[in-house]
Structure 1
Amino acid sequence: MFTHSVRAEVWVEVRPTEDEEKVRRALSNVFIYDDLRVEESEGKKYLVALGLGFKSLIRVHNLIKEQGIEDSARSVLIKGMEDNRVVFHLHKQAAYAGVLTFVTEENESPLGPITFIVETNDPRRLIDWLAPRTSRGRRLYETPPPEDP
């Protein structure tokens, strides 16, 4: 179905009051992309990044682990799972500071969220890799990343 086991498209709005370079930095702090383009839609400007393979999400994986937010991350990721896709949103200003904060409503990130649309053959395995189950704050297992063909 997919050339890679993971294909991630990430959208982030660049508001007129924002410095585009700072928005790029926020994006780069949480995502490793293979391609980046600027799109205009309905009078708004967006950075649209494409990442192929699990490596594109390694920063999300590492930040979840470093911050010890597996349980909350897992909950958000499972809620965003539909068919072969996982959709989630991150707080843009927190990402700029190198912190991973999930948002569930658009207004939680005043300058708009960073939106991830991740397609994968096995969304459950992706979630197990990004945010494994825990007990008393300790990971119960480590799932290897989804393999790229």
Structure 2
Amino acid sequence: MKIPNIKCKIEMFCSINPSEDPEKIKKSILNIFPNSKIKIEDFSINAHSKDLTSFEKIYETIRSKRSQKNYRRNLENNLDNDTTWFYLNKQAAFAEEIAICEEAEESPLGPIKVIMTSPDIDRIIDWIVFVD
């Protein structure tokens, strides 16, 4: 995997339900984004990274499942200026699996919202979901 040299801010947000262990949610995020810095608050977890290597697992999963067109559509539908976002299923992330949700309700305990911001956001989308 060749990672482009593009400036990008990656943020992850996730609510903590009363029945959930914050450490397990932290583990869910780190399973997918191992280079993230995480802050646990009372009812939410915020994480961030400026390293595109954080997308390695997502990049590999998209290619292995041959679902680049679906992921591209999702990222482009959520595109606003230099920012795009997507949801990840929180339980799948805990099991080290990547399941992108089109709607928040697809993750029963709430999703992990991943926001990417970059002056070259189109190049980042092209890199993540390049269609062979």
**Fold match, TM over 0.5?**
yes
Q: Radius of gyration: which is bigger? A: 1
Determine whether 1:38 maps to 2:40: yes
Map of 1:101 onto structure 2:
99
Instruction: Give CA-to-partner distance per residue, 1:12-66, whole Å, 9 cap, x none.
Output: 11211112222122111221334211234xxxx1111010121222222122223
User: TM-score under structure 2 normalisation?
Assistant: 0.86
Unaligned 5+ runs, structure 1? 134-138, 140-149
1:52 corresponds, among 35, 50, 53, to 50
Taking the aligned partners of 1:35 and 1:21, their CA distance within structure 2 comes to: 14
Q: Percent identity of the aligned residues? A: 28
1:18 corresponds, among 20, 24, 33, to 20
* Residue range with higher mean Cα deviation, 49-58 or 113-122: 49-58
Question: Structure 1 or 2: larger strand share?
Answer: 1
User: TM-score under structure 1 normalisation?
Assistant: 0.77
Give the deviation of 1:83 after TM superposition.
0.5
**What is the letter of the counterpart of residue 93 of structure 2?**
A
Give the deviation of 1:118 after TM superposition.
0.7
Question: Structure 1 or 2: larger helix share?
Answer: 2
Taking the aligned partners of 2:7 and 2:73, their CA distance within structure 1 comes to: 22
2:85 corresponds, among 84, 87, 90, to 87
Taking the aligned partners of 1:66 and 1:115, their CA distance within structure 2 comes to: 22
**What is the letter of the counterpart of residue 28 of structure 1?**
L
Distance 1:126 1:113, change over 3 A: same
